[in-house]
Amino acid sequence: MWAPINRRFFLGSMLAGAGTMSEWGPCAAAELDLPPGVIVGHVEPSEDIFAYIERVAGRFDPALYLRLLGAANEFKEGDAIVGVSAADETARLAARQLLANTPLSAIDLHAPHRDELCEFVRSGLDPAALGPLAQATLGELKAFLLAAAEAEIHQISPGLSSDVIGCLVKLMSNAELTQLGANIFNALPGSQIGARGYLGARVQPNSPTDNVDDIRWQVFDAFAYAVGDVLLGTNPVSSEPASVLAVEQTLQEVLLTFGIDHLLPHCVLSHIDVQAQVEEQQPGSTELWFQSIAGTDAANATFDVSVDKMVEYARQRRGRFGLYFETGQGADFTNGHAHGFDMVLHESRKYGLTRQLARQVAIARGTDWDTQRSWVHVNDVAGFIGPEVFRTREQLVRCCLEDIVMGKLHGLTIGLDVCSTLHMDVTLDDLDWCLEQVAPACPAYLMALPTKIDPMLGYLTTGYQDHVRLREQFGFRVNDGMWQFFQELGVIDAAGQPTKHFGDPAWVYLQFCRRQGDGRSDAEILAAGKRTLQEIDGRGVFIAKGFGKRPSQLAPQLRYKIEHIYQDSKRCLWVEWNEDFIAQIPQRVVLQTTSEGRLDYILRPTGGEQLLSSSLEQLGQLRQQQAEQYNVQIVVSEGLNALAVMDEGQLQPLLRKLRSELAAAGYRLAPETIVVKSGRVRAGYRIGQSLFAGIAGERNLIHIIGERPGSGHHTLSAYLTTATGEQWQTTGAIDHNITKVVSGIATTALAPEQAAVDIRRVLTS
C-alpha cells in the first residue's frame, strides 16, 4: 500500500512502542551529547527581555532574543538540540523573570520568525478585544487569566497573538496550566464535545493492510465499550484514491446504518489533496477533511501544503463538518525547519493557523466563527516522534498541559493523542499515569483504540478501556447524542451502567446486521462474526473483548498479548544488522552513516541522515562505474527494525520480485544494492544526490527500511523518490514532500511479492 508522505507516516519512520531498560538495550536513559545551554546573567529589577538584550549586547540581537525565549521553557531535548534550552534552573528562572516583565505589545512587535503563515495568523487578531490588557506585561496577563471568569477569558482571547500565548505558558507551573485549562471550554457546535464535564473519543481504527473488516470491527468494538463520539478517523496505509474511497465508504456505512451520521463524522487521514480528489470523484463520500500542519511555511512545505492551499480548501467546507488538524511539538525541527526558536512557539503558531482557517470555514458557511463556531478541531499528537523531542513521562505531561492551554486560548476545541514510542522512557503503566495528570486540564477528547497499541503505526496511545477508566475516575461524560445511542444499542443501561453486552463487539455486529435488514438467524450472524474475528486476529489486529476485574481493565489474555508485543518491540529496536546476513545480499555496496552505535542512532536522528566521508567516496566511485546507465537505485537500511529486514521471507523475496517487476516495466535498474548501516530515510536522499545530481532525465531511488516495531508485525517500508537530475542537484529540492511510501510490508501484512507489484505501480503512475 502506498501513501504520500504526511506527518504520521514520516514521523512514524521513527516509531516503536514505549519502554525503559531491557535485556535488548539501554533505551534512552543514557546521556545525549547536546549543545551547551543558554546562560542568563544578572537581571535588574523590572528589567524586561528587550532591556536585558540591549544592556548585554548593546543593541537588539535577534538570535539572543530567540535563545532567551527558549530558555524560559521547561527542559525538553528538542529545545536543547536547537540550542535554545536554559543551561540550568537558575538561567530558566531568570529568563522567565525577563519574560514576565515584558509587555504584550513588545512581544507582538518582535515575531520570532516572519513568513506568510505569520502574517496570515496576525491578520485575524482583534487588538481592541484586549481592552486595558493591551498595555499589560506577560506576568500581568498570567495573573489576570488565573483569576478571571471563563467569560472574561473568552472576551480577550481574539486579541491574544500566538506568540503571546506561546510565551505565556512558559511562565506557568503545571498546576497553573491545569487550573487554566479547566476554566476554558470551546465546544463544537451542536454537541457537548469540548464542553465542561465531557471527555470525547476519536476512534482510530487502523489496519496494517487497510482491510475494511479490520476497520469496521474496531468501530464495532469501540461502540461495545460506549466509546466514540468525536470522529471515526482512519490513518490509511494506501493513499490511492480508490483505497481511500473504500475506507471512507466503510466508515460512512457504519454511521448511516446506525443512524448517527449527524452526530459523528468520518475521515480518512490521507493528504488533503487526496481527500478532495476522492470527494470530486464520489460526491458525498468524504465528511470531515484532515491535514497535518506545521508552524512555518517551510515546515508546511514538507507536508506539501501552504497557507494559500489551506485557505482554498477551508473555503470549500460548507457542510456541517469542516476541518480536522493534527499537530505536535517537535515536528518542525525534526524536519529541519527549527528556524532557531523553540517548540512551544512553533506549536502555538499552528493553533494560530487553525484559528484563522476556522474563520475561513465560517466565512464559507456564512457565519461568524467568533460567535457561531464551525466544526473545526485540532488534535495534539504529543509524544509521537521520540526522545529527540522529549524523553520522560514528566515532559510528556508538560507538553500536553502547555498545548491544551494554548489551544483553548486560541478559542479552539483541542484534543490529545497522549502517546509514546519505544525509545522514550515511558512505559505502558506510565501512560496511565500521564492520562491521570492530564485529564484534570480537560482536553476535549483523547484517542481511542482497542488496546494501547496501534496495529499499523506501531506506537502506544489510549485504549478504549482507558476511556472507561477515566469516566469512572473523573466523572467525565460522553456527548449526549452518542450516549443515548449507546443506551439504545444496549451496551449500557438507562443508569449508564454496563449491561451484559458491554465489551462484546459481536453484539454490536448483530445490531448492525439487523439494521441492514439481514434475514439470517442470530446464531448464523454471530457465527459469521466469530469467523471474521478469527481472521482479524490472524492478521495481528487486536479486538478487545470483555474485561478484567472491572469494566475498565483489559481481559487478562489480551493484556498478556500486549505485553508480549511490547517486549518484541524492544527486541526489534535494539537488534542491529547481522554481518552474515549482509554478506548474503548480492552485489552489495555497504555504506555507513555518522551514527556512532545504536544508542546514538536512536537518540540523534540527524546522525542517521548523513553519510561518512568514506561512504561518500564510495558513492563517487559507484557513480563513475555506473556511467549514467541506470534510472533506478535500490537502497536498504535496517532503520528502527533490523529484524524486519533480516526475517526469513522478507527482504530477499521483495528484492527478487521488485527487480523482475521493474525490468519488465522497462526500467534500467542498477545491479548493485546499496546497504546502509544505521540509515534513516533522509540518508537515501543523500545517496540519490551523489548518484544522480546533474544527470539528464528522471532518476528513481527506492529506499527499503525496517520500521514500526511496536505494531506487532516486523514491517518494511519502501520510500520512493523520483526527481530529475537537476532536482537531485538542487539543495533542498529533495525531501519528504516529493516522496511516496509503500508501507506495512511483511509476511504477516502486505506480502513482499505483492509489495513489489505495488512499488512498480506507484513508480509508473
| pLDDT tens profile 73-84 | 999 999 998 999
What strands, in cross-sheet order, belong to the sheet with 266-268?
266-268, 231-234, 200-203, 445-448, 413-418, 375-382, 321-327, 289-292
CA distance 456 to 15: 11
**Residue 151 CB: number of other CB atoms within 10 A?**
7
Helix (H) or strand (E) holding 400: helix 393-409
Helix, strand, coil content of the chain in percent (nearest 5): 50, 15, 35
> Helix or strand or coil: residue 593?
strand
| Count of Cβ atoms closer than 10 Å to residue 586 Cβ | 11
Q: What is the dihedral of CA 105, 111, 116, 122, to 10 degrees?
A: -20
pLDDT of residue 765: 83
CA 637 to chain CA mean position, Å? 23
The C-alpha cell 470555514 sits at: 361
Identify the pLDDT of residue 209.
86
Which DSSP symbol is given to 702? E
Q: Are 688 and 699 in contact (CB under 8 A)?
A: yes
Q: What is the pTM of this model?
A: 0.84
**Rg of the chain in Å (alpha carbons):** 26
Question: In this predicted model, what pLDDT tens digit does every residue of 631-690 receive, in sequence order?
Answer: 999 999 999 899 999 999 999 999 999 999 999 999 999 999 999 999 999 999 999 999
8 Å CB contact between 5 and 737: yes
Q: Give the SS3 label for residue 467.
A: helix
Taking the CB of residue 363, how many other CB atoms lie within 10 A of it? 15
Residue pair 304/4 in contact by the 8 Å Cβ criterion: yes
> Grid coordinates standing for 434?
500521564
- Look at residue 717 in the predicted model and tell me its pLDDT: 93
Q: Are 17 and 301 in contact, with CB atoms under 8 Å apart?
A: no
Alpha helices of 23-75 — where are they, by DSSP H? 49-57, 62-71
Residue written as cell 509489495? Answer: 755
b/e map of 10-49 (b: 16 or more CB within 10 Å)? Answer: bbbbbbbbbbeebebbebbeeebeeeebbebeebeeebbb
Could you count the other beta carbons within 10 Å of the beta carbon of residue 226? Answer: 27
Phi, psi of 419 (to 5 degrees): -135, 170
Cell numbers for 277: 480528489
Measured on CA atoms in the order 138, 141, 147, 149, is the torsion positive or negative? Answer: negative
> Cα–Cα distance between 8 and 303 in angstroms, integer?
10
Question: Model confidence over 395-438: pLDDT tens digits?
Answer: 999 999 999 999 999 999 999 999 987 777 788 899 999 999 99
Average predicted confidence (pLDDT) for the chain = 92
Cα atoms in the Cβ-side hemisphere of radius 13 Å centred on 251: 30
Look-up of cell digits 496505509 = 237
Which grid cell sits at 346? 512553533
Indicate the helix (H) or strand (E) that contains 291: strand 289-292
Taking CA atoms, 144 is separated from 135, 314, 352, 529, 572, in Å, by: 13, 34, 21, 57, 50
* Strand, coil or helix: 145: helix
Q: Would you state the pLDDT for residue 32?
A: 53
CA atoms within 13 A on the CB side of 322: 30
One-letter amino acid at 135 equals Q
Alpha helices, DSSP H, located in 674-722? 681-692
Q: Which three cell numbers stand for residue 113?
A: 520568525
Residue 447's H or E segment, with its range, is: strand 445-448
pLDDT means per 10 residues, the chain with 765 residues, are 45 34 37 78 95 97 97 94 94 98 98 97 96 97 98 97 98 98 96 97 94 97 98 92 96 98 96 97 97 96 95 94 95 86 97 97 86 88 82 94 98 95 80 97 98 86 96 97 98 96 98 97 97 91 94 91 82 88 95 91 86 97 96 95 93 96 96 96 95 96 89 87 95 86 88 95 89
Chain position carrying cell 493534527:
326
